[in-house]
Amino acid sequence: MRRVHQWNATFSLALFLFFCSAAFAQVPFERIANADKEPGNWLTYSRNLQGHRFSSLTEINTQNVSGLKVKWAFQSPYSRLEVSPIVIDGILYVTGPNSAAALDGRSGRPLWIWKRPIPSDYHSIGFGHSNRGAAVLDDKLFVATLDGYLVALDLKSGAERWSAKVLDYKTGYSMTMAPLAIDGKVVVGVSGGEAGIRGFIDAYDAKTGAQAWRFWTIPGPGEPGHETWSGDAWKTGGGATWVTGAYDPELKLVYWGVGNPGPDWNGDMRPGDNLYTCSFVALDAGTGKLRWYFQFSPHDTHDWDATHVPMLFDAQIGGAKRKLIGVANRNAFYYVLDRTTGEFIAGKPYAKQTWAKGLDAKGRPIPAANNEPSKEGNLIWPNLNGATVWFSPSYDPQTRFVYVATREIGARYFKRDTAYKVGTFFPGGGEDELPPDDAWGAIKALKAETGELRWEFKLHSPPWAGVLSTAGGLVFSGSDEGNFYALDARTGKPLWDFQTGGAIGANPVSFTIDGHQCIAIAADRVLYVFGL
Amino acid sequence: MRVLAATMLSLILSVVAARGAPQQSPPAPSSPPAAPDVAAGKLIFEGHCALCHGIDGGGGRGPSLRRPKLAHAADDEALKSVIENGIQPDMPPAWYLSPEEIANVAAYARSFGNVPPEVLPGDPARGKAVYVRSGCSACHILAGEGSGYGPELTDVGARRGSSRLRETLQNASKTIPEDFLFVEAITSSGQTIRGIRLNEDTFSIQLKDQQGRFHSFRKSDLRTLKKLRSETPMPAYGSVLSASELDDLINFLASQRGKP
C-alpha cells in the first residue's frame, strides 16, 4: 500500500510540476504579511496574521453555493483530524499527530508524506492525539510534535531540515497547535494544562532552529505577577499556550492566549489571581518581553483557558479610530481590548453563563453566587469546554461581524483534593455534563466592536468546528453530527449543507486551484475539498 | 485545557485519577508487576463508572456488569481497552486514567462477575405468558419475534438490572434513556408522523413509526417538529398488571441475556 502511495506521489509530483510552473514557490514573510494580496493561497493558520479566517474570494457566493460539490477527498490514517490546511500555489499541506503531507490540489494525491514516531511512553493528558496544522516561511514547513519537537521540513520534499526540542513530554508537556511564522521566527505554544506544567511561549530562528526567546506564562520569583501565586503553586500552575496566536507586523507584537491554572477545579491550592493564566499576553516579537496582559478569568476554577485565536481589527470607538483585539472567550463573554495597550474597551456575554453578574469598568468579572465547583457539585453555565473552545472564530471585514461557533451547555462542577505527581493528570475535580438533549449549539454573528448579537443559527449540538467567512457573503462551519454547511453572512440563513459522515472538529479554509475557488474541511479522518 | 469531545467529560473526576503511576514510569526491572489494587479500583468505579453501571454493578443507564462474560470485553486486556477507549457513542473513554488505574478499575469491574446471580421473585415461564398476553411483541423484538418499534429485548436482562426493569414496566416515562426521543413531525402537506427518533443532525431527522416504517425528513421541509421529551408510546404497566404478574414478567425479562 505504501509503495503504491510512493509511486503515485512521484507521478503526481512530476505531473504537477509539468502543469504548474509556480509550484513550490518560496514564501518570504512579505507574502504572509500581505496575505490579502493573494486570496488564492492560505499561508498562515488563520489566513492572515490578524487571525481573521476570512477569504476575499467571491467565486462561491450566496447565489451559487447551493451547487457546491465534492471535488476530492483525502483519507488520513488518523481519526478526528483537527487540521487547518496551509495552501501554497495549488498544494495543500496537512498535518496529523507527528505527521505531515503535501497534497496535490487537483487530485488530493499525496506528493510527500513525513512521519516521526510517537514514543511508546508518550501519554496525552487531557486531550487526544491531534495536530491542528503547520506554519510556512521561506522554503520550510514547520510542524509541532506531540513529543515536543518543532520540526522544519523542506517544502519540496518533506525532508527534515532541523528539529528543535521545545519541551520534555515526560513531565506532561505536549504540542498540538499550528506554529505561527512571523518575520524570521517561528512561535509555538505548549499543551499540558491538566498535568501541572508551567506554561511558556517560545520563538525559534526559522533558518537554524535556535531558540530566540521564551516567555514563561507564570512569572517566577522576583518577576511582576509572581505575587498572584502563593508558595510553590506557581511551579505547577498550568498556563498552557496551545492555540495559535496572532501578530501585528506594524506594532511588532505577538498576541497569544494563555490557558487555565492548575489544578483546574480546585482553586484552594493556588490562592490569588494566578497570572498570566486565562489571559491574553502581548509580547515584543523581537525579545519575547511582555508588553501588556489582560486576564479574562482571574483565579479560574472552571478550566476556561483563554487559548483562542485573537482577532485584530480597527474600528471607531468614541469617535476615534482604535487598533483593537477581539475575542469570544471560553467563559462566555466577548471582549474588545485596545491592542496597543491592553485597555478594556467593551465586553458582554454572548452565550448563557451563570458564573458572573457582569464585568466591571476594567473588564474584571463580578462573581455571581454559587459560581465555584464544590464537593456536592454546582450547576454552572458554561461547562468546562466553555461557550467556545480552540476552534477558530472569523472576522468579516465586509459585515464587520465576528462569527463564533458557540456551545450552549452547562455542567455540575465538582471539586476534589488532588496531589501533584510529575507527568500525571492534575485535575482537582471535574464535571458532570448535562444530557445531550439539554445542550445545543449555534453560529453567532456579533458586532465586532461591541459583541452585540446580530443573528444566530442554531445547531443540533454544541459544535467543535471553527468558522470561515468569505467575501462571497458566506459563513462556513461544521457540526458534530457531520454537517458541513454555508450560511448567509448577513442573515444567518442556511444556504447549503453536506453530510460528511464524520464528526467535524476542524477549521475550514478557502483557496483556489487552477483559478477556481475551493473550500476544504476535515471531518473525522477525511479531508474534503469542495468546489462549484 | 481543552479536551477532545464532550462525551469524554461526562464523568466525575476524582482525586483517585491523579494517584496512579504515569505511563512513562514503568516499574523497575527487578520488581514484579504489581497486582491490581481492587480497593483503589472501587473508588475509581464509584466516582466514574457507577453513574451508568450502578454502584453495585447492577446496571442503570448502562449494562449490568454482574455476569461472568462481558459483551465487549472477552478478557482483561479487552476490558482495559474498553475502559481506556470507551465504546462510541454509548460509553465515554477514560483517557485521563493511568494504566495502573485502568488495571485497578478493570479488576474491580471484573469482580462483579463473581457475584452470585440475583434471586428474583416470580416465574419466568409465567412471565413469558404475561409477555405474550400483554402484547409486548407488538412493539418489541425478543429472540427474533415481534415488531421492532421499541427497543430490542433479546439481551435486556444483560443490559438492565431487575430494579430498572421494574421501574420501566411500572412507568416507562420515568426511565426514558438519554438517547430515546419520541417525536411528532407534521409535514408541509399536513401529514402527522409520530415515531421514535433514530438519528438527528442540524438539518435532518430520521424516525421509525409504530408500523416499523422509516421516515427521513429535511427539517426545513416540516411544518412543525415536536420533541415529546417526557413521552413514550409504552403504557405504564404498573396499573395494568398485578404484583405477581409484574414479578413473573421481570423474572422472564431478566433471563433474556442474548448470546451465551
Fold for B182-228, please state it. Answer: SH3 type barrels. (2.30.30)
Count the Cβ atoms, other than its own, within 10 Å of residue A86.
Answer: 30
Residue B18 has pLDDT above 70, yes or no: no
Give the A:B interface size as CB pairs under 8 Å: 146
* B15 contacts on A by Cβ (under 8 Å): 416-419
Distance CA(B247)–CA(B253), nearest Å, equals 10
Q: State which residue of chain B sits closest to A262, comparing Cα positions.
A: B1
Flag whether pLDDT at B22 surpasses 50: no
CA distance A204 to A212: 5
pLDDT band at B98 (very low <50, low <70, confident <90, very high): confident
Q: Is the pLDDT of residue B204 over 90?
A: yes
Helices (H) and strands (E) in chain A, counts: 2, 38
Inter-axis angle of helices B99-111 and B76-85, nearest 10? 120
What residues pair up with A498 in beta bridges, in sequence order? A484
Query: What pLDDT, in 10s, does the model give residues A371-391?
Result: 999 988 899 999 999 999 999
Closest CA to A255 of A151, A183, A304, A327: A327
Q: Which CATH superfamily is domain B6-114 in?
A: Cytochrome c-like domain (1.10.760.10)
Contact assignment for A128 to B51 by CB distance below 8 Å: no
- pLDDT for residue A466: 98
* Helix, strand or coil, per DSSP, at residue A133: coil
**Active site positions of A, annotated:** 303
Phi, psi at B218, each rounded to 5°? -75, 130
Which of A127, A302, A417, A425 to mutate: most B Cβ within 10 Å? Answer: A425
User: Is A352 contained in some domain?
Assistant: yes
Query: Which residues of chain B have a CB within 8 Å of the CB of A81?
Result: none
The average pLDDT across A463-491 equals: 98
Q: Is the pLDDT of residue B28 over 70?
A: no
Question: Residue A69: inside a domain, yes or no?
Answer: no
Nearest chain B alpha carbon to A478: B202
At A302, list the grid cell: 472552571
Q: Do domains B6-114 and B124-166+238-254 have the same CATH topology?
A: yes
- Note the pLDDT tens digit of each residue in B67-92: 777 878 888 899 999 998 888 767 87
Cell of B239: 396499573
Torsional class of A2: left (φ above 0), alpha (ψ -120 to 50), beta (otherwise): alpha
- CA-CA distance, B180 to B197, in Å (whole number)? 7
**Cβ atoms A116, A67 nearer than 8 A:** no
Q: Residue A496 falls within a domain, yes or no?
A: yes
**pLDDT for B32:** 53
pLDDT digits (tens, 9 = 90+) for A229-255: 999 999 999 999 999 999 999 999 999
Residue A25 is predicted with a pLDDT of 54
The residue ranges of every structural domain in chain B are 6-114, 124-166+238-254, 182-228
Q: CA nearest B7 in A: which residue?
A: A433
pLDDT of residue B23: 32
* B51 interaction partners in chain A (CB closer than 8 Å): 432
Residues 6+ apart with CB under 8 A from B165: B156, B250, B253, B254
**CA A136/CA A35 separation, integer angstroms:** 13
Q: How close does chain A come to B240, measured CA to CA in Å?
A: 31
CATH number, residue A494: 2.140.10.10
Residue B6 cell numbers, joined: 464532550
Q: What is the per-residue pLDDT for A29?
A: 97
Tens digit of each residue's pLDDT (9 = 90 or more) over A316-357? 999 999 999 999 999 999 999 999 999 999 999 999 999 999
Mean pLDDT calculated for residue range A45-55: 98
For the segment A498-515, the average pLDDT, to the nearest whole number, is: 98
- The predicted structure's pLDDT at residue B5: 34
Residue from B2, B97, B100, B197 whose CB has the most chain A CBs within 10 Å, to mutate: B2
- Write down the pLDDT at residue B55: 81
Query: Inter-chain contact B17–A425, Cβ cutoff 8 Å?
Result: yes
Q: Determine the Cα–Cα distance for residues B62 and A512; give it in Å rounded to an integer.
A: 49
Residues in chain B within 8 Å Cβ distance of A192? 1
Which chain B residues are within 8 Å of A482, Cβ to Cβ?
201
* pLDDT surpasses 80 at B189: yes
Q: Which of B13, B24, B201 is the closest to A427 by Cβ?
A: B13
Backbone angles phi, psi at A216, to 5 degrees: -80, 130
- Check pLDDT > 80 for residue A22: no
Q: In whole angstroms, give the CA distance from residue A313 to residue A310.
A: 10
- Average pLDDT of B32-58? 81
Give the Cα separation of A438 and A442 in Å (integer). 14
ipTM rounded to 2 decimals: 0.89
Between vectors from CA A381 to CA A377 and to CA A387, what angle results, nearest 5°? 135
pLDDT at A456 over 90: yes
Q: How many domains does chain A have?
A: 1
Report how far residue A283's alpha carbon sits from residue A185's, in angstroms, rounded to the nearest whole number: 13
Are B12 and A430 a contacting pair at CB < 8 A? yes
Q: In this structure, are residues A337 and A343 in contact, taking their beta carbons and an 8 Å threshold?
A: yes
Per-residue pLDDT at A23? 44
Q: What is the 3-state secondary structure (H, E, C) of B205-248?
A: EEEEECCCCEEEEEHHHEEEEEEECCCCCCCCHHHCCCHHHHHH
Q: Is domain B124-166+238-254 given the CATH code 1.10.3720.10 in the classification?
A: no
| % chain B with pLDDT above 70 | 85
Using CA coordinates, name the residue in chain B closest to A131.
B4
**CB-CB neighbors (< 8 A) of A193 in chain B:** 1
Q: Among partner residues B15, B19, B24, which is closest to A123 by beta-carbon distance? A: B24
- Interhelix angle B124-133/B243-254, rounded to 10 degrees, is 110
Q: For residue A95, give how far its alpha carbon lies from the nearest alpha carbon of chain B (Å).
A: 17
> What is the model's pLDDT at position A136?
98
Give the predicted TM-score (pTM) of the model.
0.87
pLDDT at A288 over 90: yes
Per-residue model confidence (pLDDT) at position B260: 54
